[in-house]
A and B are shown apart, each in its own frame.
Chain A
């Protein structure tokens, strides 16, 4: 069966990646012609040549004024709205409404050289002026949407080369905080680049789709589950869970808290720190290496340097930044020491040094804890506690550091996996490609626009969890979580004790709470009477997520004949009305209904 050629584009501020669907229908992040999966969002004009992608990055060193980087976040903004203090890259020009760059280019000679005289005999005319064939220096003004289109068209070209045909439909990612105007601008730019954009997808949503969160079987089959220290989350995924998507790119960090209800994703809270990114790590390494360089060579070098530093220092910074990029990658890739070598860093002196993981984690611990704080604050702003989070999904190249991953794992309960089963730098592109596939295979005459329009406005969701209570017990077993889009249906099987002829249970509405238990020390907050707990050694207080029952919704009673499981089905309709049925397996016609 042939599949439509679709393309998923992760368009980040610093790097982009592209994914397609392979022959088996699985998404695959592909490399461009240069063999890079992470394609730098950079365009450099050098004379007659235009470099796009990773080839443009080295031009920052000597041709910074003609190199354009970091243009994505400017989309959909006017000049006045954006921060125009980019130091090294091409300057933004103030005299246009949409932000634009001006670069120096060499235009090819306008006039074709006059044809040479046919005869070899010396002619009376003077020798042709060699200057006439020289390219003409000129300037070129590019608006941000134009730059974006140009860049996206190269991505499209790479995908076309890989697939052999031009992808018909694309899904392109946008940051969680993009306004609708920015999304429109991005879509328009992508369409100018020749892409047929089905959807501009939130990066967090792309991560969730990439991991197939909530689709337990598929996720397990593809081996995308995380590895928690304890608990069963590594083998079996819960149908309803709370997930945090932590996306840390080159320049910013965004955290989204999402309620997953059987594969539908409801946003509970989100936050962003646009100063916290992979650049932070760069700066740390820069500082570290500069210090080491000064110590070794006695050449004064203080990096990162400010705006009014000398040209020599700026050049050194640009050079070292490029080198540090590699160091960073090898730090996250292998456990050995990562080298950093720059020839003629400053005053003709070379830098050649190495750093190991432990040292780096020591340097970066400040950044790690900042990330952790951001995570905690976003979760708390959604009025939740870290113990109520079932999984953390990582995205963005900067989350590749093992040190960061273990730091996050320490913050969270040991049952909560910090998942990086898909390469975090590829997961967004993969999610986009999957979404493009889903949208291109709509059935029953559904139209993409109609489907997407349904989620433009907030939708009705359950406001409180609904669950089952065994008669005489206080414990509520959650069946439907709060925040599940309506209508929602859940079916559960309940094993029955041998020999029982009649069973019954109650349905209750509940409330999510955190049970805090103090170990050894005096209680700080409320103390509940449950004692048994198994993780206490190092923790001073142990928190567990529980659901307490608040309001009875009714009860169900089933007569048993064969001793099979009891099946319970609960449907909450769009209006909030609840329907519930329970029956013994195989005897659905005799179901007991909620009155």
Chain B
């Protein structure tokens, strides 16, 4: 807005005979360097960039200022978390006795019964304020109730005091009896419902973790790493759960120091006992869940299969001639393919809907393997394109087979088929190699520099 400065003069009445001087244009403006700083410069820049005149800019700034003031007003607590702490209290909640604060449900009193340990500090603040507005003793001064009028208010204050102190809140959360802690027997839970049953249970237990976030339970298809990570975490679980809440009150009036010490000692040992119990409980839970986890069984089976496959292939490798080695490899590959096929079949049987697509894919892959095998056979029978009679060095064999693998990967299935046919037609020796080399060339840039034997 334009600021108005008052001039240090006073205008007197016009002298008679005065007429306005003729209007003239002022001198041409000059050009000077301006410092790009200060709010006034920014305002001038705003006017220039947005092509606003002074009057328009005044309007715009006034409007934005008003909008801001409005936004500040609306941003207040009134509109935060609508409905929180505004419900009607049930009779049981209203009947809470402030003297029995250890037994009262602090969350329910503030109307946070639904949120419990997930309630944020803001939730607690807002809910408390709303409750106080409704239940302050001053509001009930004229009402007909008796002397016990501010009992509920006291409960609210106690709940607020407890929940806003991190340590006290944790003590209460540790023993919150309104959170179910029942666990079904893992042995009786069917495998297909296992994850959906235990995921919420572990999510619930996770609230005691000092380390956050806690890894999730995962689902039926979780990888070995995920599952192991999950159980690792729970075997090293660091819990803040504590049991001060159950402490017996030290009798303050008692003068006996021994009495006090005795109670304290008892409380301490009791706390330790409970803590130990809780740790054992959690440990047992994890043990049991781990023992009957269907995912572990699945992973073990997979590993066993992989191991046995490896064993079959890797037996006495040093004593084998290259040809034998090749044979063994082929056999292993065939076995693997067979196994994979069988597994696939089993899976397909259970999931009929995915059948068609999978089958086509599988067929292509199977064929691919077949073709590759036949090409490899040609290579082998050509003595790895080395002169007759010389024994092929293992390095060469390895390289050639590796390059063949790479080539098959780079080519489309149809091209592989073509290649196989060509190689078959060429028979043995150089012509077959030429066919492979031409296929390598057809791959183009993707294979640049990767091939040595078939370059």
Contacts and interface: CB of A to CB of B under 8 A. Distances in A.
Asked if chains A and B come from one complex, the reply is yes
Interface of A: 1, 199, 201-202, 204-206, 208-209, 212, 214-217, 239, 258-259, 262-268, 431, 435, 438-439, 442-444, 446, 450-452, 454-455, 458-464, 466, 468, 470-472, 477, 483, 485-487, 489-497, 499-506, 509, 551-557, 565-567, 569, 571-572, 575-578, 594-595
14 contacts: A239-B5, A266-B33, A444-B64, A451-B41, A477-B7, A483-B30, A502-B14, A503-B12, A551-B27, A553-B23, A557-B14, A566-B11, A578-B25, A595-B23
A205 B41 CA distance: 11
A554 B41 contact: no
B36 A451 contact: yes
Contact of A268 (B20, B26, B32, B64): B32
B145 interface: no
A552 B26 contact: no
A578 B4 contact: no
B18 A504 contact: yes
A264 B26 contact: no
B12 to A, nearest CB: 4
B40 interface: yes
A202 B50 contact: no
B40 A263 contact: yes
Nearest to A566: B11
Given A265-B41, A494-B11, A505-B11, A464 B26 contact: yes
Contacts of A496: 10-11
A494 B5 CA distance: 9
B48 A454 contact: yes
Contacts of A485: 32, 34, 44
A458 B32 contact: yes
A556 to B, nearest CB: 7
A536 B29 CA distance: 38
B61 to A, nearest CB: 9
B20 A504 contact: yes
B33 A267 contact: yes
A500 B12 contact: yes
Nearest to B23: A554
A463 B21 contact: no
Given A460-B29, A462-B26, A491 B35 contact: no
Nearest to B12: A497
B42 interface: yes
B141 interface: no
Given A483-B32, A554-B23, 11 more contacts: A202-B37, A205-B37, A263-B38, A268-B32, A444-B50, A452-B36, A459-B34, A495-B7, A502-B14, A566-B11, A569-B2
A460 B4 contact: no
Given A500-B13, A578-B25, A208 B35 contact: yes
B62 interface: no
Contacts of A258: 35
Interface of B: 2-15, 18-42, 44-50, 54, 60, 64, 72
Nearest to B8: A477
A455 B34 CA distance: 6
Interface centre among A443, A501, A506 (most CB of B within 10 A): A443
A204 B35 contact: yes
Contacts of A262: 3, 40
A214 B20 contact: no
Contacts of A204: 35
A506 to B, nearest CB: 5
A502 B11 CA distance: 10
B409 to A, nearest CB: 43
Nearest to A455: B36
A442 B20 contact: no
B42 to A, nearest CB: 6
A595 B5 CA distance: 24
Contacts of A438: 37-39, 42
Contacts of A500: 11-14
B13 A557 contact: no
Contacts of B39: 215, 263, 438
Nearest to B41: A264
A477 B9 contact: yes
A477 B42 CA distance: 28
Contact of B11 (A265, A268, A470): A470
A443 B2 contact: no
A542 B273 CA distance: 95
A468 B64 contact: no
Contact of B10 (A495, A567, A576): A495
A540 to B, nearest CB: 29
Nearest to A499: B13
A439 B13 CA distance: 48
Contacts of A454: 36, 44-45, 48-49
B41 A455 contact: yes
Contacts of B3: 216-217, 239, 262, 491
A435 B29 contact: no
A483 B35 CA distance: 13
Given A471-B15, A489-B2, A552-B22, A209 B32 contact: no
A201 B37 contact: yes
A206 B37 contact: yes
Contacts of A431: 37
B38 A578 contact: no
A571 B57 CA distance: 14
A510 to B, nearest CB: 10
A212 B37 CA distance: 10
Contacts of B18: 471-472, 504
Contacts of A552: 21-22, 24
Nearest to A506: B21
Contacts of A259: 32
Given A208-B38, A262-B3, A497 B31 contact: no
A199 B38 CA distance: 12
Contacts of A575: 29
A391 B6 CA distance: 21
B13 A502 contact: yes
B177 to A, nearest CB: 39
Nearest to B61: A443
Contacts of A202: 35, 37
A368 B442 CA distance: 86
